[in-house]
A = this chain, B = another copy of it.
Amino acid sequence: MKADLDQLMEKRGLQALVVVGDETYSVPRDYLTNGAQVTGGLVIKKRGADPVMIVNPMEVEEAAASGLTVYTNHDFGWGDLIKEADGDRSKATVKLWERVLQQQAIPPGKIGIYGTDDVNVYIEMVDELNQLADYEFVGERGLTLFDEAFITKDADELARLKVVAAATSATLQATWDYIAGHRVEGETLVKPDGSPLTIGDVKRFVRRTLLDHDLEDTGMIFAQGRDAGFPHSRGQTDMPLQLGQAIIFDLFPREIGGGYHHDVTRTWCIGYAPEPLQKAYDTVMKAFDIAITAYDEPGQPTHELQEAVLDYFEEEGHPTQRSQPSTMNGYVHSLGHGVGLKIHERPSLSHLTRKDILQQGNVVSVEPGLYYPDEGYGVRVEDTVYIDETGKMISLTDFHKKLVIEVQQ
C-alpha cells in the first residue's frame, strides 16, 4: 500500500522515482497525486519525502487538487530549454529533469522511471538521461514497485472500492430487471415497438446506469451462445437476446475518469436453461464455493485455491489449463487476480504463480468458469473479495447468483 512506497524504494536502492505519463488517465500518477486530473506533467518522489508535481501552467489548478507542492515547467525555464534544444523535446526534457532533480536535492544514485507512456520515446531518451552526471535511470523486471505497492489496499482505498462495488452490484440488479421487463416473441426478447432487444441495447442501458452511479464502463463483456464460450469475447452488438442461451455478463467498471474498479461476472439464461448449461452452471457454482472454502488464512499461497478448483474440474472430467495447457475447452484461465486502480493486479490466483500469497488488504477476483464454444456456451461466476484486518475473506459483490431470468411468455 501507499505507506510502503519508501520501503519499496529502499529495497530497490532508488533515491527517487519519476512518474511520466501522457495526456490520458495514468494509474501511478493518480496513485501518487490523490486523483488530481492533470494531463501530462511529471511526478517526482524523493525517497522519504512527499511527491511533487511539475505541470504545464494551464494545469496548475487541477494539480493543486492533489494537495502536493506544484511547480510549472516554466519554473524550470522550459521555454528557454526548448529554444536551446532547437525544438528537440527529448533533449529539453533531459535538461528539465536535471534541473528538477537538483532543485529537489536528490542524492546521486538510482532513479526509477515509471508510468504509462509512449515506450518508443523513453527507450531512446533513457540513454541521454544516463549521460547526466550523478544519476542512473533504471527500469525493472518482474514485479515493479507499483505492482508491489498495489498488492495491498489501505483503508481509504478499501472505502472507495466498497462504493464502486455497491454501485456495480446495483447496476447488475437494474440490468436483470431491465431484461426481465421485456416480452418474448418466439425465442427472442422484443422491445415495446416489436423490434428485437439486442446486446447493443443492453450495453447502452448498462453504460447509462453506470453513469448514474458515477462509474464508467471499461469494456464490459455481454456475450451470448457460442461467443460466451470465448472468455474475452465482448459480444456482438446486433445480436438479439434469445431464450435458453448462455449469457456471460462480465462487468468491470471504474470511477469516472479513471480510478478504482470492481470486477464481477454472472452467467444468465433467459426463460429456461437447457440441461447441459444448467449442469455446467452447477459445476461452476460448486467450484466457486470450493475456491472460497479453500482459503484458510493470511500467508496462504494463492495457487492452493486454484489447485482446489483444478482438482474438482478435472475430477468432473473437464480439460483444464493444467491438464492440457493450450486447451480452449473446459477451464481455460486462472482463478483470479488483484483488483484496484488497474483491473488486473497481483496477487495472481494461478497454479503457475507459485510465490503469490493471500494477505490482509488484498482485493481479488474469484472467477472459475467452463467454456465449450463448439457446444454453444460458456459459464463464469465471479465476485471480488477482500481479506480484512482479521484475515477473513469477505465478498465486496452483493448480487445474487441465479441463472435463469424469468420473462413473460
Number of interface residues of A (CB under 8 A): 73
Q: Confirm or deny: A300 has a beta carbon within 8 angstroms of a beta carbon on chain B.
A: no
A302 to B: closest C-beta gap in Å = 13
Residues of B within 8 A of A124 (CB): 138-141
Q: Are B82 and A352 in contact (CB under 8 A)?
A: yes
What are the interface flags for A338-361 relative to B under an 8 Å C-beta threshold, 1 for contact and 0 otherwise? 000011100000001111000000
Given contacts A39-B232, A56-B232, A326-B79, contact A118 B121 (CB under 8 A): no
Residues of B within 8 A of A354 (CB): 87
Q: Are A116 and B113 in contact (CB under 8 A)?
A: no
Residues of B within 8 A of A72 (CB): 326
Among the listed B61, B256, B257, which residue makes an inter-chain contact with A233, where contact means beta carbons less than 8 Å apart? B61
What are the interface flags for A16-34 relative to B under an 8 Å C-beta threshold, 1 for contact and 0 otherwise? 0000101110000000000
Q: Confirm or deny: A392 has a beta carbon within 8 angstroms of a beta carbon on chain B.
A: no
Given contacts A74-B326, A216-B216, contact A144 B121 (CB under 8 A): yes
A190-236 residues at the B interface, CB under 8 angstroms: 204, 207-208, 211-212, 216, 218-219, 227, 230-234
28 A-B Cβ contacts within 8 A?
A23-B343, A37-B234, A57-B328, A58-B231, A58-B232, A60-B230, A61-B232, A61-B233, A62-B234, A74-B325, A89-B141, A89-B142, A112-B120, A113-B119, A113-B120, A114-B120, A115-B118, A115-B119, A118-B144, A119-B119, A119-B122, A120-B144, A121-B140, A122-B123, A123-B126, A123-B139, A125-B141, A211-B211
